[in-house]
Amino acid sequence: MAAQKGKDLLLKVQEGAGFVTVAGLRSRRLAFNAETVDVTHAESADRWRELLDGAGVKRASVAGRGLFKDAASDAALRQIFFDGAVRTYQLVIPDFGTVTGPFQITSLEFAGEHNGEVTFELALESAGALSFAAM
């Protein structure tokens, strides 16, 4: 994958039959994690740790920081958070692919300076199986 513009990494939430971009994100991050299951035993070769293939819990986390573009996007994300709702999101990674699946907002923070705009930060955690579609 060649160098890409960070602004082209998009976080979208499902609204009806389609997806809409989460408003005003200036920074975005996607991380995949997988837990390991240690099956090392007394007869493991030279006492090297052994891991169970395909076991453990997989998860993904998404984080973003930015500005709300309008009151509607502010209200939508705030309502999703307060409802504790699991919604379908997409993360579009330019020239790589799209990750789609259920996520829950686990953190929603607001901040502002006296002479600046109100900003927000949000964190999402996967809540089920994710799919990947290559571009």
Q: What is the pLDDT of residue 119?
A: 87
- CA–CA dist 110, 132 (Å, integer): 31
In this predicted model, what pLDDT tens digit does every residue of 64-118 receive, in sequence order?
898 877 777 778 888 999 999 999 999 988 888 999 999 999 999 999 889 988 8
Q: Which two tokens stand for residue 33?
A: 């994690």
Q: What is the pLDDT of residue 123?
A: 95
Q: What is the pLDDT of residue 34?
A: 92
The single residue listed with the structure tokens 């998009």 is 10
Q: Which CATH number fits domain 6-134: 3.40.50.1860, 4.10.410.40, 3.20.20.80, 3.90.550.10?
A: 4.10.410.40
- Residue 134, number of CB atoms within 10 A of its CB: 8
Question: What are the sequence ranges of the domains in the chain?
Answer: 6-134
In this predicted model, what pLDDT tens digit does every residue of 12-58 receive, in sequence order?
899 889 988 887 778 888 899 999 999 999 999 998 999 999 888 99
Residue pair 65/120 in contact (Cβ under 8 Å)? The answer is yes
Q: Are strands 58-66 and 86-93 parallel, antiparallel or unpaired?
A: unpaired
DSSP string, the chain: -----GGG-EEEEEETTEEEEPTTEEEEEEEEEE---B---TTSGGG---B-TT-S-EEEEEEEEE--SSHHHHHHHHHHHHHT-EEEEEEEETTTEEEEEEEEEEEEEEEE-TTS-EEEEEEEEE-S--EEEE-
Distant-in-sequence contacts of 1-5, Cβ < 8 A, 24+ apart = 1/95, 1/96, 2/95, 4/94, 4/95, 5/94
pLDDT at 5 over 60: no
